[in-house]
Amino acid sequence: MKKQTFFAFAIAGAIIAFCGCAELQLDPSGAKRLNQTELELLFQTERAAEFLTSGTRVSVTYFPDRRQECDWGSGNDKGTYSINNGEFCSTWTWLRNGSESCSKIYKIGENEFEFRSIDGISHAIMRLK
């Protein structure tokens, strides 16, 4: 009986430890989620980036004062972004009807970052210029 109880507690402890540390580890693809400090460092200087969305190249410039501007050739928009609790949140003047969208950002290459929705779905790849 004592061995079964010990074994049950050992398994439960391992599961709790794994679940508690999951965000600190690399995900199965090898990508590393950026934390609050890493996100702040990434956007502390002006950054020019490019996204490929539905076959359209979108150029975005992020400014240290939390402004952002985008251009996709046939149009453009301006907005703001924030970094809160390890998430990158952005609002555009008219894109997404001005609604805020928040993402977790994962580093997937030297100058490539993947934006994932809160539920983990990939929705954009950012390449720094």
Tens of pLDDT, residue by residue over 77-92, are: 999 999 999 999 999 9
Instruction: Write down the architecture of domain 27-128 according to CATH.
Output: Beta Barrel (2.40)
**DSSP states along the chain:** -HHHHHHHHHHHHHHHHHHHHGGGSPPTTS-EE--HHHHHHHTSS-EEEEEEETTEEEEEEE-TTSEEEEE-SS-EEEEEEEEETTEEEEEESSGGGG--EEEEEEEEETTEEEEE-TTS-EEEEEEE-
What residues does each domain of the chain span?
27-128
What is the value of pTM for the model shown?
Answer: 0.76
pLDDT at 28 over 70: no
Tens of pLDDT, residue by residue over 59-77, are: 999 999 999 999 999 999 9
Tens of pLDDT, residue by residue over 82-126, are: 999 999 999 999 999 999 999 999 999 999 999 999 888 998 999
Q: What is the pLDDT of residue 4?
A: 40
